[in-house]
């Protein structure tokens, strides 16, 4: 019997976030209980607008959207540069964001009323998740697991020398989440950097209603990645995080004892893993070290081409 996950997706769309939402919704493997939005790739107004736009595009406006934090816990917001002014350059949604401001509370309510059932997929800065953990730790301990796109273990950072963007934006929130006593899986840059999609890969999507806006988004996204990171392809950070749940057999994982650097000037947001032999404490995070690029590309195209037809 196929595994189906009850999930909350906490996100900051963002081109790759948009693709992750599409993959989750089209795979048939997720009961998406809510989408919660956070400032990160763009402002919370833009990320919420973009989330609603993607759900409308998918015909899934039945999924509730709750907006959340407009800035990190203790810092000013640092936005990404690869997604354009709207957060979804290429399509630039104009719909109303309909801000609710209650993302953390909704995460608490859904987790608390469904003990052991809810997987929280965190695709942006961890501000909403940390706020929920601080406000009601008892409810948040009832989560089945938290799956996080973030961090860099051995790979260089993509925001500074050592830090991945989501953790860099709100390291205090990440520190709270990494220390919280709940099962956590991390999909870091190490697992994402080798999975690269070209425009020709997206052209293989058979559903024209999705293919057209995806191609419109991917052209500026790839240009932004090339300018900022020197890679002439779409890096698939957030879709890979969803895929790690969909197809764990395509992943290589290892437990690590990880702490988050919150005070360093050069190392802000570094996910510091204990790599010394014989020194590692108890692992607090299961890290996805590698994901099969071949399997991901095949399954991504299948899911976005044929709604609900994905099989493992």
Region 50-62: mean pLDDT is 97
- Domain spanning 5-305: CATH superfamily: Ribonucleoside hydrolase-like (3.90.245.10)
Average pLDDT, the chain: 96
The answer to whether the beta carbons of residues 174 and 274 sit under 8 Å apart is: no
Q: Where are the domains of the chain?
A: 5-305
Q: What is the pLDDT of residues 170-205, one digit of tens each?
A: 999 999 999 999 999 999 999 999 999 999 999 999
What is the model's pLDDT at position 281? 75
Q: Measure CA 21 to chain center.
A: 9
The stretch 57-76 carries a mean pLDDT of 98
For the segment 273-294, the average pLDDT, to the nearest whole number, is: 92
**What is the per-residue pLDDT for 175?**
98
- In DSSP terms, 255 is beta-bridged to 286
DSSP 62: T
CA distances from residue 175 to 75, 81, 151 in whole angstroms, order as listed? 14, 24, 11
Q: What is the Cα–Cα distance from 174 to 171, expressed in whole angstroms?
A: 5
Average of per-residue pLDDT across 265-294: 93
Instruction: Confirm if 209 and 59 have CB atoms less than 8 A apart.
Output: no
Contact 146, 120 (CB under 8 A): yes
pLDDT of residue 294 exceeding 80, the answer is: yes
pLDDT 10s digits, 240-261: 999 999 999 999 999 999 999 9
Dist CA 51 CA 49 (whole Å):
6
Give percent above pLDDT 70 in the chain: 98
Q: What average pLDDT does range 119-129 have in this prediction?
A: 98
- State residue 282's pLDDT score: 87
pLDDT in tens, 256-269: 999 999 999 999 99
Predicted confidence at residue 312, as pLDDT, reads 61
The pLDDT, as a whole number, for residue 1 is 39
What is the per-residue pLDDT for 92? 96
């Amino acid at each position: 019997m196929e595994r189906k996950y009850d999930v909350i997706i906490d996100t900051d769309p963002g081109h790759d976030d948009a693709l992750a939402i599409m993959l989750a919704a089209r795979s048939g493997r997720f009961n998406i209980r809510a989408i919660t939005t956070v400032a990160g790739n763009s402002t919370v107004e833009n990320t919420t607008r973009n989330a609603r736009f993607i759900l409308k595009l998918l015909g899934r406006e039945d999924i509730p959207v709750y907006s959340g934090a407009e800035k990190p816990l203790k810092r000013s917001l640092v936005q990404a540069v690869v997604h354009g002014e709207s957060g979804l350059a290429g399509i630039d949604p104009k719909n109303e964001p309909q801000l609710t401001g209650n993302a953390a509370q909704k995460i608490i309510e859904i987790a608390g009323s469904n003990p052991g059932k809810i997987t929280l997929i965190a695709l942006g800065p961890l501000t909403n998740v940390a706020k929920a953990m601080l406000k009601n730790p008892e409810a948040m301990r009832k989560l089945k697991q938290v799956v996080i796109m973030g961090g860099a273990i051995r790979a260089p950072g993509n925001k500074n020398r050592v830090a991945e963007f989501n953790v860099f934006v709100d390291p205090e929130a990440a520190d709270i989440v990494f220390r919280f006593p709940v099962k956590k899986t991390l999909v870091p840059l190490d697992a994402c950097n080798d999975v690269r999609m070209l425009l020709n890969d997206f052209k293989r999507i058979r559903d024209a209603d999705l293919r057209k806006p995806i191609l419109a988004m991917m052209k500026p996204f790839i240009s932004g990645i090339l300018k900022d990171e020197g890679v002439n392809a779409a890096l698939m950070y957030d879709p890979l995080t969803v895929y790690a749940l969909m197809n764990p057999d395509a992943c290589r994982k290892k437990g690590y004892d990880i702490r988050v650097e919150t005070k360093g000037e050069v190392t802000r947001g570094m996910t510091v893993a204990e790599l010394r032999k014989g020194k590692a404490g108890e692992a607090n995070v299961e890290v996805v070290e590698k994901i099969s690029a071949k399997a991901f590309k095949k399954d991504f195209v299948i899911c976005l081409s044929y709604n609900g037809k994905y099989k493992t």
